[in-house]
Amino acid sequence: MQKPRLSFWQIWNMSFGFLGIQFGWGLQLANMSPIYKYLHAEESSLPYLWLAGPITGLIVQPIIGSMSDRTWNRLGRRRPYFLTGAILASIALFFMPDSSVLWMAAGLLWILDASINITMEPFRAFVADKLPEEQRTLGFVMQSFFIGVGQTLANGLPYLFSALGVVGVMATGIPLSVDYAFKIGAIVFLVAVLWTVVTTKEYPPENLEEFERMKRETKGVLAGFKEIFSSVTEMPPTMKQLAVVQFFTWFALPCMWQFFSLAIARHVFLAPDESSPRFAEATEWGGLCFAVYNVVCFVIAFLLPAFANATSRKTVHMIALVCGGVGLISVFFIGNKWMLFASMAGVGIAWASILSMPYVMLSTAVPPARMGVYMGVFNLFIVIPQIVMSLIVPSIFNNVLGGDPRNAVVLGGISLLVAAVTVLGVRDVHVLKSV
């Protein structure tokens, strides 16, 4: 079936739920390390406490991708998963700042990340389901736009509350500004996803009788795992090549998310730990820096298709990753809080491309009928490097990295530069078809 071209606003509506998903991610990425510190976690153990995200992604995303490929009911194929995950994630977000002990925060993070993964994975396949090939770049770029907007609002919200006079703290020491931000985030998450569920319809399977037969034959957990395994063994060459790029990219990003705020607290704000009076100010500024890279992300996002058409998708992605690597490495040399915005601008350029270009290249290289499971399998190459990072960095933090969170951020920058080099080895099927 030749899919009809959608209008700008139809693509806007089908992508709007991503704003809520990324509001949740943004709150987590900017605030979980400080929350863990307030609950007396050791810096070297932080990567272990962040394992919830990659491990739940490793388990949940391929399963949900496979299940959604084989789902069709009144809500459609992907939308039942959007809605279920959004409800569960909103509950976890609402109660996260109320954690009184470390294990409670870690447990809620596991629930939050599993729920976000249930919601997010089908959104990637949704673009390929709904859009003809010539509109997919715009579809994934629109998701990048909402990722940038959602994370910007989430990252800046605690700082905004403080600026408006919200200065109290909870019994654990967690600022009330963070508590209010998470509770607003829970509402935004659910409302944004509901908007997409209500405003966007899905196409039924082209051959409903054949679809029902396939669903009966692949029913059950064992069949789902068998399909995931076959997808891994039958991966197209482009997907394998992108996996290498993704490994170094997603090894780098948690180095920033977990250690950036702590690095600038120590070296820019001169606040060595959570007992310092400037620690809360530093972590709020860290959230504002994350907002800056997300502002750059959504500004750059709509320029990427033009750059890709003028050069190539590979060229755009390689240059963007170099900008991100240089941005993270520059943090080592900065002592002025305002200069950190320049570093984050480089990260924002990389982030806009990371969230779109690999998926555009992938969507033209895999069979449409298995788009959901392949998008889920592709996310293994996002979560596995995060797990590797979370196991390696604690073992080298106090010796190789000198116990300094700033060095962990630099390690992330080096990894992004390596990722940029590996882009050269990717075979872009779309480019080859058009030659």
Q: What is the mean pLDDT of residues 126-149?
A: 79
DSSP 44: G
Query: What is d(CA 57, CA 199) in angstroms, rounded to the nearest whole number?
Result: 27
pLDDT for position 434: 41
User: What superfamily does domain 9-434 belong to in CATH?
Assistant: MFS general substrate transporter like domains (1.20.1250.20)
pLDDT for position 276: 83
Q: Assign residue 333 a region: left if phi > 0, alpha if psi is -120 to 50, beta otherwise?
A: alpha
Tokens describing residue 176: 């009330």
Query: What is d(CA 252, CA 53) in angstroms, rounded to the nearest whole number?
Result: 15
Query: What is d(CA 190, CA 202) in angstroms, rounded to the nearest whole number?
Result: 20
Of residues 197 and 57, more confidence is placed in 197
DSSP 100: -
Tokens describing residue 52: 């919830």
> Half-sphere exposure (CA, 13 Å, Cβ side) for 154?
32
pLDDT at 232 over 70: no
pLDDT at 381 over 80: yes
pLDDT digits (tens, 9 = 90+) for 68-102: 777 777 777 788 888 899 999 999 999 999 999 98
Q: What is the mean pLDDT of residues 282-294?
A: 89
Q: Where are the domains of the chain?
A: 9-434
Query: What is d(CA 125, CA 71) in angstroms, rounded to the nearest whole number?
Result: 13
Band of pLDDT at residue 432, cut at 50, 70 and 90: very low
Distances (CA, A) of 69 to 62, 265, 369, 409: 11, 45, 8, 38
Tokens describing residue 246: 């993704």
pLDDT for position 318: 95
At position 15, the amino acid (one-letter code) is S
Of residues 51 and 219, more confidence is placed in 51
Query: What is d(CA 194, CA 83) in angstroms, rounded to the nearest whole number?
Result: 7
Poorest-pLDDT segment among 3-17, 77-91, 133-147: 133-147
pLDDT for position 78: 83
Query: What is d(CA 155, CA 190) in angstroms, rounded to the nearest whole number?
Result: 18
pLDDT for position 429: 67
Q: What is the mean pLDDT of residues 298-316?
A: 85
Question: 3-state DSSP: the chain helix, strand, coil percent, rounded to 5?
Answer: 80, 0, 20
pLDDT digits (tens, 9 = 90+) for 336-374: 999 999 999 999 999 989 988 888 888 777 766 666 667
pLDDT digits (tens, 9 = 90+) for 146-173: 877 888 888 888 888 988 888 888 888 8
pLDDT digits (tens, 9 = 90+) for 248-280: 999 999 999 999 999 999 999 998 878 887 888
